[in-house]
Amino acid sequence: MADQISLTFPDGSVRDYPAGTTAAQVAASIAPSLAKNAISATLDGQHIDLAWPLTENGTIAINTMKDAAPALELIRHDLAHVMARAVQELWPDVKVTIGPVRDFGWFYDFDREEPFTPDDLGAIETRMKQIIAARDPVRTEVWDRARARAHYEAANEPFKVELLDRIPEGQPIRMYWHGDWQDLCRGPHLQSTGQLPADAFKLTHVAGAYWLGDNTRPMLQRIYGVAFRNRDELKAHMHMLEEAAKRDHRKLGREMDLFHMQEEAPGQIFWHPNGWAIYTTLQDYMRRRQRAGGYVEVNTPQVVSRKLWEESGHWENYQENMFIVEVDEDHAKTKTINALKPMNCPCHVQIFNHGLKSYRDLPLRMAEFGSCARYEPSGALHGIMRVRGFTQDDAHIFCTEDQIEAETRKFIEFLAAIYADLGFEGWRIKLSTRPEKRIGSDESWDRSEAALGNACRAAGHDYELFPGEGAFYGPKLEFVLRDAIGRDWQCGTLQVDPNLPERLDAEYVGADGAKHRPIMLHRAVLGSFERFIGIMIENSTGKLPFWLAPRQVVVASIVSDADDYVHEVAAALQAAGIRAEADIRNEKINYKVREHSVAKVPVIMAVGMKEVADRSVSIRRLDRQGSQSQPLDAALAALAAEATPPDLRG
């Protein structure tokens, strides 16, 4: 180790320090105010603790609470430790496990015989605030493995012993103390409990969780919390959660009679007529869009031999997520092993490989509404958002390396038009670049990454760079929607892949007469129909665009003498291509309006004897006050135009 190290700062300046200097000492050398406000540092892109000694040259930035990403990571991570300390101070017999940071907060798993109650959560919160008010120092040490094992065995913490055994040889075993309470953790952490905002966190709920996600291991109790930098951010988040509860697609799905799920088919969806109307209308729209975009549609088997999955690499790397199907073939000595396809790409390569392809055939855009099955742990399933059976709007573009940029630009423009039609204007692009472990030359990566970045700019969109987040075989773009209450959903994707064509021996004949490997661009706009429909339902609170609404119009009688006209109006609407139904029940019109409004029917036509005499309808729009009387023919024409999908409008 050198005696001196050189550190480069964000402004480009360089300073030399003795090796072993901590980031806290670096902050103090710059300004007392920075030393006071510092919470951590970022060294060569790695988030580090202020107390860690620096031994190598690098680029460094000192973080304060104004730096949102590192600040939130520290706040949530420290609060996980403070919560675990509070639990063990209140119930000393409880065993602790792990407490990672997650979206908006953290969780920590505990081994306790008695279930935690809402009153317990209140007591834990109170104790946490007392720990924060005590402003106990946070310190860290690196121990050798034997010392750490002896410590946890003496403390009767078996889960920590197991975690210790999982730390690879050569990695530091870092011990953290928050006051007198200690945990095994890779860090970083704040410098004292007093740096935590006592009014910006809340414990939300308790759930069961198997140790390390393994259903053969003990069931633990997982306490969830959320945390932010200040009270206003927490208040905004809690308001968002209230809005999210109102928009929950599972609740709206029941009210709109869209689907249900049951134990006999975990992670699978039973689509009701109303839900299937949304599904097929969206699928028909995507089919037309893809046809207009130059895609050919294919369909591939759902049960595919193990042999293909081995050749593609999925058997080795993805088998735990696959449903295996064993078949007793006639006269076979051993069972044939197949798998339900978890993705479509290897099958699409088989179609590409069927028959000789020329450079003149490229780019070849191959699309499939591919039904896939992936094993998801039961605890991860969530309505139609996280399922085991789903259909992707999947497509693969086989092209040359020189065509990547043009095809990517076309795809971004294609995706942008679809998102606009579906009511999502606010979305952004992430560009994930080469990871440390990868295949292919640096020159090839340079060209692929440049092609994706150039395509984004040419299509008129900026992008966020995520260094090192690409797949081992190529960079990718991710398209992230933002919904009406500010939540982000990653839906669309485009992945550059030279690897699968190589593994599955895909070739085309180039202009030089020689055989070449195509590049494969994996792309999706919606992702899965199931998840995207769930997103649309929550984004719109079930008030879908008229052309997508499963029940577009209900014609409701005010008096029974109008029943014949109600049926005539409903039939005329249906003939005009509108999903309409008649409601001639012996109920008051206000009752009917309320019921159909809860079901999110966008248009309710109230029909009484005045409407019969005038051959008109009284139109009530969802969430609008009052009604509007209109001649039947005019109403038919206006609603037929509104029911036309956006890609078919003039």
Q: Which of 47, 272, 374, 428 is catalytic?
A: 374
Catalytic residue (choose from 522, 579, 592, 620): 522
Burial class for 358, CB neighbours closer than 10 Å (0-12, 13-18, 19+): exposed
The closest of 528, 544, 451, 538 to 490, measured between CA atoms, is 528
77 is catalytic: no
The yes-or-no answer on residue 522 being catalytic is yes
**354 DSSP 8-state letter:** S
Could you confirm whether 476 is annotated as catalytic? yes
The pairing of strands 324-327 and 303-305 is unpaired
Catalytic option among 109, 183, 393, 394: 394
374 catalytic? Reply is yes
Handedness of CA 525, 527, 530, 535 (dihedral sign): negative
Place of tokens 């700019």: 457
Distance of CA 496 to the CA centre of its chain: 20
The residue annotated as part of the active site, out of 345, 347, 399, 456, is: 345
Is 399 a known active-site residue? no
Contacts 24+ apart (CB under 8 A), 578-582: 578/552, 578/553, 578/639, 578/640, 578/643, 579/277, 579/549, 579/550, 579/551, 579/552, 579/553, 579/643, 580/552, 580/553, 580/554, 580/555, 581/551, 581/553, 581/554, 581/555, 582/554, 582/555, 582/556, 582/557
Query: In the structure encoding, which two tokens stand for residue 502, read together?
Result: 């190589």
For tokens 């994707």, name the residue: 493
Other C-beta atoms lying within 10 Å of the C-beta of residue 159: 21
Give per-residue burial for 584-597: e unless 16+ CB within 10 Å, then b.
beeeebeebbebbe
Cα 241 vs. chain centroid, distance in angstroms? 17
Rounded CA separation 117/624 (Å): 43
How many Å apart are CA 397 and CA 190, to the nearest integer?
48
396 noted as active-site residue: yes
Burial class of residue 9 in the structure, from the number of CB atoms within 10 Å of its CB (0-12 exposed, 13-18 middle, 19+ buried): middle
Considering the candidates 77, 409, 461, 476, report the single residue annotated as catalytic: 476
| Residue 345 annotated as part of some ligand binding site | yes
| Greatest Cα-to-Cα distance within the chain, rounded to the nearest angstrom | 98
Which one, of 41, 130, 22, 44, lies nearest residue 82 by Cα?
A: 130
Q: Is 392 a catalytic residue?
A: yes
- Taking the C-alpha atoms of residue 6 and residue 35, their distance in angstroms, rounded to an integer, is 19
Does the CA dihedral 279-285-287-289 come out positive or negative?
negative
* Catalytically annotated residue among 178, 396, 516, 551: 396
Q: Where are the alpha helices (DSSP H) in 313-371?
A: 314-318, 345-353
- Per-position b or e across 439-462, b if 16+ CB within 10 A of its CB: ebeeebbeebbebbbebbeebebe
Residue 334: count of CB within 10 angstroms of its CB: 8
Q: Catalytic: which of 182, 221, 392, 630?
A: 392
Tokens 């899965």: give the residue.
528
How far apart are alpha carbons 39 and 188 in whole angstroms? 10
Opening angle at CA 245, ends 620 and 118, nearest 5: 145
Which of 268, 272, 239, 279 is CA-nearest to residue 255?
272
User: Which residues are known binding-site members for Zn(2+)?
Assistant: 345, 396, 522
Catalytic residues: 345, 374, 392, 394, 396, 476, 522
User: Which residues are known binding-site members?
Assistant: 345, 396, 522
